[in-house]
A and B are shown apart, each in its own frame.
Chain A
Amino acid sequence: MTYTERLRNVSVLGAGGKMGSGIVLLTALEMCDLSQKAENRELPFVLQAIDISHTALAGLMPYLQVQIQKVAEKNIVRLRQVYQDREDLIENSDIITQYIADVLNIVRPTTALEAAYESTMIFEAIVENMAVKTKVLSQINTNNLNSPWFFSNTSAIPIHELDEKAGLGGRILGFHFYNPPAVQKLVELISAKTTQSELLDFAGSYAKNLRKTMVPANDFAGFIGNGHFMRDFLYAKSEIERLQAEVSFAEAVYMINKVSQDFLLRPMGIFQLCDYVGLDVCQLILRVMSPYFSGENLHSPLLDELIAQGVRGGQFPDGSQKDGFFKYEKNRPSAIYDPKQKGYLSLADLQSRCDDSLGPLPTVFQPWKAVIALAAKDTFLQSYFGELQALNTLGAKLAKAYGLRSREIGLQLLSQGVAEKENDVNAVLTTGFYHAYGPINNYFSEVSK
């Protein structure tokens, strides 16, 4: 079966979710491009967008509409060529409207899992639960006579276990998009020992056509991305517990968040990142990972407590941020949740006090956005962290310890065999998490000497 034949009938499971909708978008665009090639014009291309929720599917279609329009606007030069034989399509606006219709025409939203029984390619982006995934994949596999391939978007569950439990015979691969798939360049590729090599070839072509950067991770729960993120979060959590001897919970959250963002030049602080991913999703990932790393305590009672109080984070369908550790106004943190008071405390009341305690940033500081755009980024980082190292403020101490721990986690991923190379760890953090530098670096190690 050729690449094109494989993509003639595709199903995306969990199509109404945050990750699923992005996978539907990218795959439908790729399928539309294939369908517009001269040799394919008469062939039907079908993408079954399957979700258990009608509400989620209702949100999918407007999302696709808006995103396809953006893609069409950006690619208008090429699209004018694609539609050059259509005499009725003259202006850019005519062509963009037609392209949106053509892509949407491929997508069939449905709540019926049976729709996947005819597909040759299944993308799975459903809940991070081994039992649910196993049941759904196995049901499709039993009823589908095409021996379909399964690409799982799991960010934590080992692929070989899914393969064994669902009886897929090696027709499965971990193809982990980052959030949001339409924007994020990174894909983690997880191949189980049993994975058939043809799937890897296909994944290479598919990622290339989607202009994604594929980084291989070994088949250990959490892979590279969440392997780092979860441990990073647990360290941050332990730091707020430690700080609480001196300051309140909200102040500790503020300080560690600021240290992990501003002092360490990251795009967002660690607790803001948890809000972005969703506290409930973090909890699920920890639950999945925990049994595989029995020597580590991969569990957060704090997350459990917050979730029990209804604090979940995540995003609204329009992409705006839901409240979590922070309350958000115009997508910016404005208050911090206090589990004891079961409510939010205004940032304004504690910010300047905490900033004073942390002390100033290094004088050469530039915000993350400016740093990643620097032509001489490495030189800047050397001088920035050189200055940070010399500072003896609370903020600098916390930052140095945080940077060291992040490095330790990176090295742990190598020693555990999750990643093959230092570069793969660093690539996941810089590409998937937009860090200005990888965790395995010398900026902090020198501190320990």
Chain B
Amino acid sequence: MKKMRRKVFMTAGYNTISMGTGRKEFHPKKARPGLEEYIKEAGQGTLKMIGGAQAVDEGVIGNFMAARFNHQGNLTAMIPVIDEGLRWKSCTRVEGACASGGLALLNGIKSVLAETAEVALTIGVEVQNTVKAVYGADILAGAGWYRGERKTGHAFFFPAKFSDRAGVYFEKFGRERTRRALARWYRNAIENARLCPSAQEYHNKSLDLEALALSEPNPRLFVEHLNFYDCSKVSDGAAAIAIVSESGLKRIGCSTKEAVEVLGWAQVQADLTVPVTEAFRLETTERAVQQALKMAGITSADLGTVEGHDCFTIAGIMSLEAIGLCKPGEGPDFVLAGNTSRQGSTPFNTSGGLIGWGHPTGATGVHQAVTIWEQLTGKAGDWKIDIASKRPYGLSVNMGGNDKTLVAIVYRQGQ
């Protein structure tokens, strides 16, 4: 698709708390909200801002593995749990591993483009703290190729996939400088999260974040090239946003300024069964971002803020290169120079990203869109950044699996 056949907006974003270790309220042995509660809270949060369920034509929900984490399928039928007024409406559930939220956004966008909906309520959700991390690793490994990779894979399947990438990257571009950049990435993420009350790391009080993040990896208990600080945590959470047409905006009584316009998007799919050949780069991410930027008619230099998919710090660094903000191998310097911090030239993950805000897998793509909407419309709280008028664009990059399923979206505040 070269051009949008009609304008598509997003507005009325809502994030629940990202719950898990690090939050004061979290206790692994105490009862916690389940899928229903998260879906309900996020969905109602958005409905409240758009005049209720009667404004909604369609519902979309993105989720990765509720069937295993929560023994729950048929999530489509969880959408009417949000509000009785959603009963009997058209709803869809989509899954693309950690890009499930991004795929939900794209389904909403496509519904508006296809004119089957003027207002699509889009939700992402995941509740993962139902099992210990060692078993969660099994479930999340479903984002890889089970028959081809799981048996030979590591106990912590995905951390090991990105640890392997880190190992290759270290070898090609230097370990010491890259590790320092990974530590800086961690620090930026936590410092941003400390400003955002719904972030999982909001209560983080650690003093020397970079020193912590420079702890040497322990392959006996975890993986070879990454430590725990390099990884996003296990999270429960949900996010919701309304995807609307121009007439939809009128229907819900929302001005264009209170919405972001979707200027470009891309969904790019790699083959799950084909091994990664160049582990030091994120090829699928690169393809998706370049397509989305092209569709929006901008370059990476025009981006005022980015929500990147830092499921691991190394993925954050590699995504800079994939987006085109720096050349291959220069990601560490770009980060160490402060460019991705909230005061930098291209602030990344301003509410903490996956490392700091949390990574409720199926919700992440939607949470990214909500954060961009908050920043570009001035609705962010203490985590608000200044968006330069010359670079008013936002980008979200949502990745499923080991750079397999990609969604990239370019936004700008509605004019």
* CB pairs A–B below 8 angstroms (17 shown): A76-B134, A76-B155, A77-B154, A77-B155, A77-B156, A77-B219, A77-B221, A79-B155, A87-B151, A90-B146, A90-B150, A91-B141, A92-B134, A92-B135, A92-B137, A92-B138, A93-B135
Report if B172 contacts A (CB, 8 A).
no
Report if B132 contacts A (CB, 8 A).
yes
B126-163 CB mask vs A (1 if < 8 Å, else 0) is 00000010110110010000100011001110000000
For residue A74, which residue of chain B has the nearest CB?
Answer: B221
Kindly name the residue among B146, B151, B154, B156 whose own CB sees the greatest number of chain A CB atoms within 10 A. Answer: B151
Within 8 A of B (CB), among A58-87: 73-74, 76-80, 87
Q: What would 9 more interface pairs be, CB under 8 Å, given A79-B155, A90-B150?
A: A73-B132, A77-B154, A77-B155, A77-B222, A80-B154, A90-B146, A92-B137, A92-B155, A93-B135
CA distance A77 to B219 in the complex (A): 8
Task: Report yes or no: A90 in contact with B220, Cβ–Cβ below 8 A.
Answer: no
What is B's interface to A at a CB cutoff of 8 Å?
Answer: 132, 134-135, 137-138, 141, 146, 150-151, 154-156, 219-222
Q: Which of B132, B146, B220 contacts A77 (CB 8 A)?
A: B220
A79-110 CB mask vs B (1 if < 8 Å, else 0) is 11000000100111100100000000000000
CA distance A96 to B134 in the complex (A): 10
Task: Report yes or no: B150 in contact with A91, Cβ–Cβ below 8 A.
Answer: yes
CA distance A76 to B221 in the complex (A): 8
CA distance A136 to B221 in the complex (A): 42
Residues on A with C-beta less than 8 A from B134 are 73, 76, 92, 96
Kindly name the residue among A74, A78, A90 whose own CB sees the greatest number of chain B CB atoms within 10 A. Answer: A90
Residues on B with C-beta less than 8 A from A76 are 134, 155
CA distance A78 to B221 in the complex (A): 8
Residues on B with C-beta less than 8 A from A74 are 221
Within 8 A of B (CB), among A282-333: none
Task: Report yes or no: A93 in contact with B138, Cβ–Cβ below 8 A.
Answer: yes
Q: Which 7 A-B pairs rank lowest in CB-CB distance, beginning with the nearest?
A: A76-B155, A91-B138, A73-B134, A77-B155, A90-B151, A92-B138, A80-B155
CA distance A79 to B154 in the complex (A): 11
Task: Report yes or no: B151 in contact with A78, Cβ–Cβ below 8 A.
Answer: no
For residue B151, which residue of chain A has the nearest CB?
Answer: A90
CA distance A92 to B134 in the complex (A): 7
CA distance A78 to B151 in the complex (A): 14
Residues on A with C-beta less than 8 A from B138 are 91-93
CA distance A92 to B132 in the complex (A): 11
Task: Report yes or no: A78 in contact with B135, Cβ–Cβ below 8 A.
Answer: no
Residues on B with C-beta less than 8 A from A91 are 138, 141, 150
Kindly name the residue among B132, B134, B135, B146 whose own CB sees the greatest number of chain A CB atoms within 10 A. Answer: B134
CA distance A74 to B221 in the complex (A): 7
Residues on A with C-beta less than 8 A from B150 are 90-91
* Smallest CB separation, A341 vs chain B (Å): 36
* Smallest CB separation, A139 vs chain B (Å): 44
Residues on A with C-beta less than 8 A from B154 are 77, 80
For residue A96, which residue of chain B has the nearest CB?
Answer: B134
CA distance A76 to B132 in the complex (A): 13
* Smallest CB separation, B147 vs chain A (Å): 9
CA distance A87 to B150 in the complex (A): 11
* Smallest CB separation, A396 vs chain B (Å): 31
* Smallest CB separation, B130 vs chain A (Å): 13
* Smallest CB separation, A44 vs chain B (Å): 29
Residues on A with C-beta less than 8 A from B155 are 76-77, 79-80, 92
The answer to whether residues A78 and B137 also contact, given A73-B132, A90-B150, A91-B150 and a CB cut-off of 8 A, is no
Residues on A with C-beta less than 8 A from B156 are 77
CA distance A79 to B220 in the complex (A): 11
Residues on B with C-beta less than 8 A from A77 are 154-156, 219-222
CA distance A96 to B138 in the complex (A): 12
For residue A78, which residue of chain B has the nearest CB?
Answer: B220
Kindly name the residue among A77, A87, A90 whose own CB sees the greatest number of chain B CB atoms within 10 A. Answer: A77
CA distance A77 to B141 in the complex (A): 15
CA distance A74 to B155 in the complex (A): 11
Kindly name the residue among B132, B150, B155 whose own CB sees the greatest number of chain A CB atoms within 10 A. Answer: B155
CA distance A358 to B219 in the complex (A): 49
* Smallest CB separation, A249 vs chain B (Å): 37
CA distance A80 to B155 in the complex (A): 7
Residues on B with C-beta less than 8 A from A96 are 134
Residues on B with C-beta less than 8 A from A79 are 155
CA distance A79 to B156 in the complex (A): 12
CA distance A87 to B147 in the complex (A): 11
CA distance A148 to B156 in the complex (A): 43
CA distance A66 to B141 in the complex (A): 25
For residue A76, which residue of chain B has the nearest CB?
Answer: B155
CA distance A73 to B132 in the complex (A): 9
* Smallest CB separation, A83 vs chain B (Å): 10
Residues on A with C-beta less than 8 A from B141 are 91
For residue B157, which residue of chain A has the nearest CB?
Answer: A92
CA distance A404 to B222 in the complex (A): 45
CA distance A93 to B136 in the complex (A): 10
* Smallest CB separation, A74 vs chain B (Å): 7
CA distance A77 to B138 in the complex (A): 13
Residues on B with C-beta less than 8 A from A93 are 135, 138
Residues on A with C-beta less than 8 A from B222 are 77
* Smallest CB separation, A405 vs chain B (Å): 38
A135-169 CB mask vs B (1 if < 8 Å, else 0) is 00000000000000000000000000000000000
Within 8 A of B (CB), among A166-200: none
Residues on A with C-beta less than 8 A from B137 are 92
For residue A72, which residue of chain B has the nearest CB?
Answer: B134
For residue B219, which residue of chain A has the nearest CB?
Answer: A77
For residue B153, which residue of chain A has the nearest CB?
Answer: A80
For residue B138, which residue of chain A has the nearest CB?
Answer: A91
* Smallest CB separation, A97 vs chain B (Å): 11
CA distance A376 to B52 in the complex (A): 58
CA distance A200 to B220 in the complex (A): 29
CA distance A78 to B218 in the complex (A): 12
Kindly name the residue among A74, A80, A90, A92 whose own CB sees the greatest number of chain B CB atoms within 10 A. Answer: A92
CA distance A91 to B150 in the complex (A): 7
A258-299 CB mask vs B (1 if < 8 Å, else 0) is 000000000000000000000000000000000000000000
For residue A95, which residue of chain B has the nearest CB?
Answer: B155
* Smallest CB separation, B200 vs chain A (Å): 22
CA distance A393 to B151 in the complex (A): 65
Residues on B with C-beta less than 8 A from A73 are 132, 134
* Smallest CB separation, A373 vs chain B (Å): 13
Residues on A with C-beta less than 8 A from B219 are 77
* Smallest CB separation, B68 vs chain A (Å): 11
CA distance A196 to B155 in the complex (A): 44
For residue B223, which residue of chain A has the nearest CB?
Answer: A77
Kindly name the residue among A78, A79, A80, A91 whose own CB sees the greatest number of chain B CB atoms within 10 A. Answer: A91
CA distance A15 to B150 in the complex (A): 39
* Smallest CB separation, A116 vs chain B (Å): 36
CA distance A90 to B146 in the complex (A): 9
CA distance A87 to B134 in the complex (A): 20
For residue B152, which residue of chain A has the nearest CB?
Answer: A84
Residues on A with C-beta less than 8 A from B220 are 77-78
CA distance A284 to B110 in the complex (A): 78
CA distance A278 to B239 in the complex (A): 52
* Smallest CB separation, A374 vs chain B (Å): 14
Residues on A with C-beta less than 8 A from B151 are 87, 90
* Smallest CB separation, A94 vs chain B (Å): 9
Residues on B with C-beta less than 8 A from A80 are 154-155
CA distance A93 to B150 in the complex (A): 12
* Smallest CB separation, B396 vs chain A (Å): 32
CA distance A79 to B155 in the complex (A): 9
* Smallest CB separation, B156 vs chain A (Å): 8
* Smallest CB separation, B393 vs chain A (Å): 42
* Smallest CB separation, B176 vs chain A (Å): 24
